[in-house]
Structure 1
Amino acid sequence: MNRSENSLALTYKDAAVLVGVEYRTIRAGVERGTIPTIQLGPRRMIPRAGLLRAFGVDS
Protein backbone atom coordinates (compact mmCIF):
# COMPACT_ATOMS: atom_id res chain seq x y z
CA MET A 1 0.00 0.00 0.00
CA ASN A 2 1.20 3.47 -0.79
CA ARG A 3 2.26 5.02 2.51
CA SER A 4 1.18 8.54 1.58
CA GLU A 5 -2.47 9.13 2.34
CA ASN A 6 -2.31 12.24 0.18
CA SER A 7 -0.85 10.67 -2.97
CA LEU A 8 -2.39 12.18 -6.05
CA ALA A 9 -1.80 9.05 -8.14
CA LEU A 10 -2.49 5.49 -6.99
CA THR A 11 -1.63 2.01 -8.17
CA TYR A 12 -4.58 -0.22 -9.05
CA LYS A 13 -4.07 -2.11 -5.78
CA ASP A 14 -3.95 1.07 -3.69
CA ALA A 15 -7.05 2.38 -5.47
CA ALA A 16 -8.92 -0.83 -4.65
CA VAL A 17 -7.99 -0.55 -0.97
CA LEU A 18 -8.96 3.14 -0.84
CA VAL A 19 -12.50 2.57 -2.12
CA GLY A 20 -12.95 -0.88 -0.59
CA VAL A 21 -13.34 -3.01 -3.71
CA GLU A 22 -11.42 -5.86 -5.29
CA TYR A 23 -8.51 -5.23 -7.64
CA ARG A 24 -10.43 -6.72 -10.56
CA THR A 25 -13.22 -4.16 -10.05
CA ILE A 26 -10.68 -1.38 -10.54
CA ARG A 27 -9.18 -3.12 -13.58
CA ALA A 28 -12.63 -3.58 -15.13
CA GLY A 29 -13.48 0.10 -14.56
CA VAL A 30 -10.25 1.15 -16.24
CA GLU A 31 -10.91 -1.16 -19.20
CA ARG A 32 -14.46 0.24 -19.58
CA GLY A 33 -13.18 3.79 -19.29
CA THR A 34 -15.18 4.66 -16.16
CA ILE A 35 -12.02 5.01 -14.04
CA PRO A 36 -9.41 7.38 -15.50
CA THR A 37 -5.70 6.61 -15.65
CA ILE A 38 -2.52 8.53 -16.36
CA GLN A 39 0.89 7.37 -17.54
CA LEU A 40 3.70 8.18 -15.09
CA GLY A 41 6.95 6.90 -16.51
CA PRO A 42 6.56 3.17 -17.09
CA ARG A 43 3.50 2.87 -14.81
CA ARG A 44 -0.17 3.43 -15.46
CA MET A 45 -1.64 5.10 -12.36
CA ILE A 46 -5.09 6.20 -11.23
CA PRO A 47 -5.57 9.84 -10.22
CA ARG A 48 -7.07 9.99 -6.72
CA ALA A 49 -9.59 12.72 -7.62
CA GLY A 50 -10.80 10.83 -10.72
CA LEU A 51 -11.15 7.60 -8.77
CA LEU A 52 -13.20 9.24 -6.04
CA ARG A 53 -15.42 10.95 -8.64
CA ALA A 54 -15.96 7.61 -10.38
CA PHE A 55 -17.18 6.15 -7.08
CA GLY A 56 -19.27 9.20 -6.20
CA VAL A 57 -17.12 10.21 -3.22
CA ASP A 58 -16.46 13.87 -2.46
CA SER A 59 -12.73 14.44 -1.99
Structure 2
Amino acid sequence: MNKTDTSLALTMKDAAKLVGVDYRTIKLGIESGTIPTVQLGPRRMIPRVPLLRAFGIDV
Protein backbone atom coordinates (compact mmCIF):
# COMPACT_ATOMS: atom_id res chain seq x y z
CA MET A 1 0.00 0.00 0.00
CA ASN A 2 1.23 3.47 -0.84
CA LYS A 3 1.62 5.76 2.18
CA THR A 4 -0.28 8.55 0.40
CA ASP A 5 -3.37 6.32 0.27
CA THR A 6 -3.88 6.76 4.02
CA SER A 7 -1.83 9.81 5.04
CA LEU A 8 -3.81 12.59 6.67
CA ALA A 9 -1.24 15.20 5.60
CA LEU A 10 0.60 15.27 2.28
CA THR A 11 3.59 16.95 0.69
CA MET A 12 2.98 19.16 -2.36
CA LYS A 13 4.17 16.39 -4.68
CA ASP A 14 2.00 13.74 -3.02
CA ALA A 15 -1.00 16.08 -3.05
CA ALA A 16 -0.49 16.78 -6.74
CA LYS A 17 -0.28 13.06 -7.48
CA LEU A 18 -3.43 12.37 -5.44
CA VAL A 19 -5.59 14.84 -7.35
CA GLY A 20 -3.84 14.42 -10.71
CA VAL A 21 -2.35 17.87 -11.23
CA ASP A 22 1.16 19.31 -11.52
CA TYR A 23 2.78 20.23 -8.21
CA ARG A 24 2.96 23.85 -9.40
CA THR A 25 -0.85 23.90 -9.40
CA ILE A 26 -0.78 22.89 -5.75
CA LYS A 27 1.84 25.57 -5.01
CA LEU A 28 -0.33 28.23 -6.65
CA GLY A 29 -3.35 27.05 -4.66
CA ILE A 30 -1.38 27.35 -1.44
CA GLU A 31 -0.12 30.83 -2.35
CA SER A 32 -3.64 32.00 -3.21
CA GLY A 33 -5.13 30.50 -0.03
CA THR A 34 -7.34 28.01 -1.88
CA ILE A 35 -5.45 25.03 -0.48
CA PRO A 36 -4.80 25.14 3.28
CA THR A 37 -1.58 23.95 4.87
CA VAL A 38 -0.38 23.10 8.36
CA GLN A 39 3.10 23.34 9.84
CA LEU A 40 4.29 19.95 11.13
CA GLY A 41 7.73 20.39 12.58
CA PRO A 42 9.97 21.79 9.84
CA ARG A 43 7.57 20.80 7.04
CA ARG A 44 4.53 22.53 5.62
CA MET A 45 1.96 19.83 4.85
CA ILE A 46 -1.43 19.76 3.14
CA PRO A 47 -4.32 18.12 5.02
CA ARG A 48 -5.97 15.43 2.84
CA VAL A 49 -9.66 16.24 3.42
CA PRO A 50 -9.45 20.02 2.76
CA LEU A 51 -7.32 19.29 -0.33
CA LEU A 52 -9.91 16.92 -1.75
CA ARG A 53 -12.73 19.36 -0.95
CA ALA A 54 -10.80 22.17 -2.70
CA PHE A 55 -10.89 20.00 -5.83
CA GLY A 56 -14.60 19.23 -5.44
CA ILE A 57 -14.11 15.66 -4.25
CA ASP A 58 -16.54 14.60 -1.51
CA VAL A 59 -15.06 12.63 1.36
TM-score (norm 2): 0.93
Identity of paired residues, percent? 72
Q: How many residues align?
A: 58
Aligned-CA RMSD value? 1.1
TM-score (norm 1): 0.93
Deviation at 1:28, TM superposition (A): 0.1
Q: What is the CA–CA distance in structure 2 between the aligned matches of 1:19 and 1:26, rounded to whole Å?
A: 10
Query: Quick check: which one's helix share is greater?
Result: 2
Unaligned runs of 5+ in 1: none
Paired residue type of 2:54 = A
C-alpha contact 2:12 2:46 (8 A) present in aligned 1: yes
Paired residue type of 1:45 = M
- Provide runs of 4+ in structure 1 moved above 6 Å: none
